[in-house]
Chains A and B, each alone.
Chain A
Amino acid sequence: MKFEDTSQNLRARLRFIQAMVVLLLGVLSVRLYVLQVVRGERYAEIAENQRRRRLPIPAPRGVIFDREGRPIVDSRPIYNVILTREDVKGKDLNSLIEPFAEGLALDKDILRDYFELVKTMPAFESIQVKQDATPGDIAWVEAHNLEYPELRVEKQPQRRYPANGSLAHVLGYVGEISPEQLKQQASKDRGLKPGDIIGLSGIEQIYDDYLRGRDGYREVVVDSRGRIQDEIEIVDPIPGRDLVTTIDLDLQHAAEEQLRNSATRRGVIISMDPRNGEILALASAPTFDPNLFSQRIITKEGRAEYAALLNDPETPLLNRAIQSRYPPGSTWKIPMAVGGLKQGAITLNHSNLVCGGGIQVGNKFTRCMGNHGSPDVKAAITHSCDGYFYRLGLKMGIDGIVEMVDEFDLNKRTGIDLPNEVVSWTPSREFKRRMQPRDPEWRDIDTVYSSFGQVYDIITPISLLRTIAAVAEDGKMYIPHLLKEVKAFGTPGTPDYRPPVTFQPLDQSRPNPKVVPIPEDIHQAVVEGMWRVVNGGGTGARIQMAGFDIAGKTGTAQVVGLGKDVGKNKDHSWFVTYAPAYEPEIAMVALIENSGFGGSHAAPAIRGVYDVYYRKTRHEEPPGAVKQIAKKKEPAEIGEPAVAQQRPAGN
């Protein structure tokens, strides 16, 4: 270096710069090593994920049929108009309001509010501009493809339930899986993922795994704006399996109509085949519209509607057949009579007990509504003599009553294939201790109360129906159920084939049927008593159908103490029945809340359903139509209780 000057140590400074160059670029190579070699795989995966997207192809949900193959619930495709958010980036959303509102018949203000909301959402989301678009809307979107390329139409299956809330409590409904459900291990085992539409209630819930099917998907490559560039894979969805229920729509509609026309429009009618437990009709009123959950729940109005349902004092969401408990009133006398005879508290030869117009226990007199002399067990059933059953109860004792309850499974769930069935409350020493901690001792008066379907007997309509059906069927207690068959899927012999599935008890350990041995003579006596209720001048005489041999028992269940039983606090009206008496085909229970005597409300409602059944099976007009009977003046019910002036305190 010719110009070098030792004082400047230029050579050293140049070397320093050279070192700096190597150092800086060395730093870069270290960083490169970290990014590409150490973390390379992780970043590659993230990069891969951000360009791959799985677009689900929803599986069509199985159709639900009635027992005769009539469709009850199906999924129809609806079309939604979608706005791809990335495509309007930078565009003024407000300029789209006018043309969209006009072309798609939408409200401008609603659209404006919606776009305001959308501005706060992540840019990659799609926006649903219109749900359930009409063919006209779809045509408009297609015609304006050039002006508004950001709009597209998307197909989505939507569950459609019957109108008027028909069968709502049986069918249940579907909806999007909730975050809480997603966290449950069971959901993970079933392979559920966010956004899945699953059954949330009713048989939609119980048989969800059959009905749901498996979603397919399209695996695509998208660019940074979310636009599809390439398709990698298509997996077709596996459709859900169709399901045949035991429901007979004709009976179901008849039962619903009876409830709609009843005095309080609140109540239950269940109809079952006693020979196998198949539920033919199950109506609970008031009801609700399940379409709310499958269609409208995402809208503001839908949520308000749901809140109103939750707060409704008449609890329309409740399935009264399996989730409400009522005192059974005099219908309780049927299992009592069977129990008493079986246990030998009375015998068929010496079954007479004094009515006495009531009974004196200690300082309390519990009265009977009539004076029946000294009836035998058949007459006591026919005329619903309380005095008789007070004494029968005392002869059986609380332990005898508990034994009877246990035999008829009245202290267990019936095992029906619906979610959230509750257990009845039945008399026991333990129950009294819990109910009345101040007077925990079980007394004779408690036994009296337990013997005529009040105070300690608070049961679900379904469990009562199962008991009556068992009496009809000589002690065979089938598990009530709604599933007739899950239809086969695919072609037999192929690996995808799934054979048909029939009802299996959810609790596999329970026998179906459970058999309560009832000696034939006892069976005959009780049946005769029940037959006379309708055909022998008993409390249900008004619904007699000549030649059809209806057996039944009325019940009038007290809600509050005597004297206050008016208006809203009127007694519950019950009727339990089966027919024909000596060759049972159909068993039913009806409960009309707070309407009064069993013979005047529940029994005529049952008759309405019997008429439909009779027409269907006998192909002729039923003898003695219910209307003629209804015109008659209501006869005062004999022997029905107005018991509990002497109710225990605190009830």
Chain B
Amino acid sequence: MVAIIHKRSWRDFDWILALLAIGIVLFGTIQIRNAQPTETYWVKQLIGLSIGLVAMLAIAFTDYRKLLNLAPAFYIFGLILLIIVLVPGIGLKINGQRAWIKVPGIGQFQPSEFVKVTTAMMLARYFGKNRVQALTFKEMIVGGLILALPMGLILLEPDVGSVLTYLPILAVVLFLSAIKLRLVVASAVIAVVLIPASYMLGVKTGMVKGYQQERINVILDPENADRRRIGYHTWQSILTVGEGGLFGSRSSVEHSQSGLKFLPEPHTDFIYAVTAENSGFVGCVLVLLAYIVLLSRLITGARRASDRMGMLFIMAFVGGLTFQIFINIGMALGISPVIGVPLPLMSAGLASLIATFIAIGFAISVQLRRFVN
């Protein structure tokens, strides 16, 4: 029996998805090495990839329904991790954020990346019943609460960037849980009209402080913003990307923007800028295409899922992933503000990498069981 399942599983296994993910990670590892040739981040990334692959396979061949049934337990475990990280002595403080747990041997890892997965599981589980009617107000409140608990804990670290990446998870889940379209349209209109309007009002009344305006100006007009202080990251990243040109920069790795330390955080937040400098427009567009294909495979998987729960989990993952890719690359291209969000599968960082592979494993598991009842 096990052999039969395995034989069919191997055949139905989403090879494209898995290989695409591995390919992006390997390409990213080369860029990490370009960014920090003298450091060992790229080796750690390969170790992370191995761990991630093991986790992915383990989860892919486990019935996701069993896992989702245990979602509340995972969710609570995640919350405990977020509480532990806040305890001084266990939680590691880097750049003013207590967001890492020290693990002997490996280094440190960031629990908020894993909690994203457990939260998505919890949401999928709660909204996964078969729907007969439109979303109720009560359901929206409960969904909000499921999201609010981890977000609140992460805000205490404080890690605003990570918190923002949680929002699209809920948004997608609500959108696919028959939320009334008027509500969607209404909130979109509110966002489009009210946010700029209130910003303008805030500037006029002085509620928005000078340095806050400066941050916005950096995005609106990076060339004329303060390039030495607040606009430094954005401006240097734009230069790095621009230098890549069509086929990549001709200057040596030692004389590159990251090699001379003009580009800050080149192996994590600005890995895409490093990619742009080294592989040019052609390489950059190929990376974007790879992400589009990867996300499309996931959406296809969701469409074929045999139940709502599986579909919702995959789509929640897609939502989070898309948002993170957009914000991170947007940051490198100077169209979104600089918040510390890693680029999934490319930025150096074990937690993000392993968590992403866990989610991919989950998606594969959903697909493998599309004919099974």
List of A residues within 8 angstroms of B311 by Cβ: 1, 3
Inter-chain contact A31/B335, CB cutoff 8 Å:
yes
Which residue of A7, A42, A222 contacts B242 across the interface (Cβ within 8 Å)?
A: A42
Inter-chain contact A43/B254, CB cutoff 8 Å:
no
Given A14-B302, A51-B262, is A31 in contact with B333 using a C-beta cutoff of 8 Å?
A: yes
Given A2-B306, A18-B296, A43-B243, is A24 in contact with B284 using a C-beta cutoff of 8 Å?
A: no
Q: For B177, give the chain A residue with the smallest CB separation.
A: A8
Q: Verify if A32 is at the interface (C-beta below 8 Å from B).
A: yes
**Interface segment out of the listed A33-41, A274-282, A507-515:** A33-41
Bitwise interface map of B from 169 to 187 toward A, beta carbon under 8 Å scored 1, else 0: 0001001101000000000
Inter-chain contact A32/B302, CB cutoff 8 Å:
no
Q: Verify if A506 is at the interface (C-beta below 8 Å from B).
A: no
List of A residues within 8 angstroms of B322 by Cβ: 20-21, 24-25
Report the minimal beta-carbon distance from B264 to chain A, rounded to whole angstroms: 8
List of B residues within 8 angstroms of A24 by Cβ: 322, 325-326
Q: Verify if A28 is at the interface (C-beta below 8 Å from B).
A: yes
- Count: A-B pairs, CB below 8 Å: 146
Q: Verify if A314 is at the interface (C-beta below 8 Å from B).
A: no
Inter-chain contact B308/A3, CB cutoff 8 Å:
yes
Inter-chain contact B281/A32, CB cutoff 8 Å:
yes
Inter-chain contact B131/A46, CB cutoff 8 Å:
no
Q: Verify if A50 is at the interface (C-beta below 8 Å from B).
A: yes
Inter-chain contact B306/A40, CB cutoff 8 Å:
no
Bitwise interface map of B from 270 to 309 toward A, beta carbon under 8 Å scored 1, else 0: 0000001000110011001001100110010011111110
Q: Verify if A59 is at the interface (C-beta below 8 Å from B).
A: no
Q: How many residues of B contact A (CB 8 A)?
A: 57
Which residue of B131, B281, B330 contacts A5 across the interface (Cβ within 8 Å)?
A: B131
Inter-chain contact B296/A40, CB cutoff 8 Å:
no
Given A40-B245, A42-B242, is A222 in contact with B295 using a C-beta cutoff of 8 Å?
A: no
Inter-chain contact B318/A43, CB cutoff 8 Å:
no
Q: Verify if A22 is at the interface (C-beta below 8 Å from B).
A: yes
In chain B between 235 and 252, which residues have their CB closer than 8 angstroms to a CB of chain A? 238-246, 249, 251
Inter-chain contact B276/A32, CB cutoff 8 Å:
yes
List of A residues within 8 angstroms of B296 by Cβ: 18, 21
Inter-chain contact B242/A47, CB cutoff 8 Å:
yes
Inter-chain contact B246/A37, CB cutoff 8 Å:
yes
Inter-chain contact B335/A25, CB cutoff 8 Å:
no
Inter-chain contact A44/B242, CB cutoff 8 Å:
yes
Q: Verify if B339 is at the interface (C-beta below 8 Å from A).
A: no
Report the minimal beta-carbon distance from A603 to chain B, rounded to whole angstroms: 69
Inter-chain contact B241/A36, CB cutoff 8 Å:
yes
Q: Verify if A17 is at the interface (C-beta below 8 Å from B).
A: yes
Q: Verify if A311 is at the interface (C-beta below 8 Å from B).
A: no
List of A residues within 8 angstroms of B326 by Cβ: 24-25, 27-28
Given A13-B176, A36-B280, is A25 in contact with B288 using a C-beta cutoff of 8 Å?
A: yes
List of A residues within 8 angstroms of B308 by Cβ: 3
**Interface segment out of the listed A223-231, A424-432, A629-637:** A223-231
Size band of the interface chain A makes with B:
35 or more
List of B residues within 8 angstroms of A47 by Cβ: 239-240, 242-243, 257, 262
Q: Verify if B315 is at the interface (C-beta below 8 Å from A).
A: yes
List of B residues within 8 angstroms of A229 by Cβ: 254-255, 260
Inter-chain contact A230/B254, CB cutoff 8 Å:
yes
Q: For B370, give the chain A residue with the smallest CB separation.
A: A2
Report the minimal beta-carbon distance from B331 to chain A, rounded to whole angstroms: 11
Q: Verify if B115 is at the interface (C-beta below 8 Å from A).
A: no
Inter-chain contact A37/B303, CB cutoff 8 Å:
no
Inter-chain contact A41/B291, CB cutoff 8 Å:
no
Report the minimal beta-carbon distance from B233 to chain A, rounded to whole angstroms: 12
Q: Verify if A29 is at the interface (C-beta below 8 Å from B).
A: yes
Q: In the complex, A464→B292 CA distance in Å?
A: 93
Q: Verify if A304 is at the interface (C-beta below 8 Å from B).
A: no
List of B residues within 8 angstroms of A43 by Cβ: 238-239, 241-243
Inter-chain contact B288/A17, CB cutoff 8 Å:
no
Q: Verify if B342 is at the interface (C-beta below 8 Å from A).
A: no
Q: Verify if B78 is at the interface (C-beta below 8 Å from A).
A: no
Q: In the complex, A224→B246 CA distance in Å?
A: 25
Inter-chain contact A5/B132, CB cutoff 8 Å:
yes
Q: Verify if A285 is at the interface (C-beta below 8 Å from B).
A: no
Which residue of B130, B172, B239, B291 contacts A3 across the interface (Cβ within 8 Å)?
A: B130
Q: Verify if B150 is at the interface (C-beta below 8 Å from A).
A: no
Q: For A222, give the chain B residue with the smallest CB separation.
A: B260
Report the minimal beta-carbon distance from A127 to chain B, rounded to whole angstroms: 18
Q: Verify if A10 is at the interface (C-beta below 8 Å from B).
A: yes
Bitwise interface map of B from 208 to 242 toward A, beta carbon under 8 Å scored 1, else 0: 00000000000000000000100000000011111
Q: Verify if A545 is at the interface (C-beta below 8 Å from B).
A: no
Inter-chain contact B307/A3, CB cutoff 8 Å:
yes
Q: Verify if B329 is at the interface (C-beta below 8 Å from A).
A: yes
Q: In the complex, A138→B69 CA distance in Å?
A: 75
Inter-chain contact A28/B299, CB cutoff 8 Å:
no
Q: Verify if B261 is at the interface (C-beta below 8 Å from A).
A: yes
Q: In the complex, A579→B371 CA distance in Å?
A: 126
Report the minimal beta-carbon distance from A260 to chain B, rounded to whole angstroms: 55
Q: Verify if B319 is at the interface (C-beta below 8 Å from A).
A: yes
Bitwise interface map of A from 84 to 128 toward B, beta carbon under 8 Å scored 1, else 0: 000000000000000000000000000000000000001100000
Inter-chain contact B255/A51, CB cutoff 8 Å:
yes
List of A residues within 8 angstroms of B304 by Cβ: 1
Given A17-B299, A25-B291, is A40 in contact with B242 using a C-beta cutoff of 8 Å?
A: yes
List of B residues within 8 angstroms of A3 by Cβ: 130, 306-308, 311
Inter-chain contact B238/A35, CB cutoff 8 Å:
yes
Report the minimal beta-carbon distance from A365 to chain B, rounded to whole angstroms: 81
List of A residues within 8 angstroms of B318 by Cβ: 17, 21
Q: In the complex, A222→B334 CA distance in Å?
A: 25
Inter-chain contact B175/A13, CB cutoff 8 Å:
yes
Inter-chain contact B262/A36, CB cutoff 8 Å:
no
In chain B between 113 and 135, which residues have their CB closer than 8 angstroms to a CB of chain A? 130-134
Given A5-B132, A10-B176, A28-B326, is A223 in contact with B260 using a C-beta cutoff of 8 Å?
A: yes
List of A residues within 8 angstroms of B240 by Cβ: 47
Q: In the complex, A18→B298 CA distance in Å?
A: 10
Q: In the complex, A454→B228 CA distance in Å?
A: 68
Given A2-B307, A35-B241, is A224 in contact with B276 using a C-beta cutoff of 8 Å?
A: no
Given contacts A36-B276, A43-B243, 18 further A-B contacts (CB under 8 A): A3-B308, A5-B178, A7-B178, A25-B325, A29-B284, A29-B285, A32-B284, A32-B288, A33-B281, A35-B333, A36-B241, A40-B245, A44-B245, A47-B243, A48-B251, A221-B260, A224-B261, A230-B255
**18 examples of A-B residue contacts, CB within 8 angstroms:** A3-B308, A7-B134, A7-B178, A24-B322, A25-B292, A31-B330, A32-B288, A35-B242, A35-B276, A36-B242, A40-B244, A41-B245, A44-B242, A47-B239, A47-B242, A224-B261, A225-B261, A230-B254
In the complex, the 9 A-B pairs of residues with the closest C-beta atoms, listed nearest first: A43-B242, A40-B245, A223-B260, A36-B281, A8-B178, A47-B239, A44-B243, A224-B261, A224-B262
Binding site for A on B (CB under 8 A): 130-134, 172, 175-176, 178, 228, 238-246, 249, 251, 254-255, 257, 260-262, 276, 280-281, 284-285, 288, 291-292, 295-296, 299, 302-308, 311, 315, 318-319, 322, 325-326, 329-330, 333-335
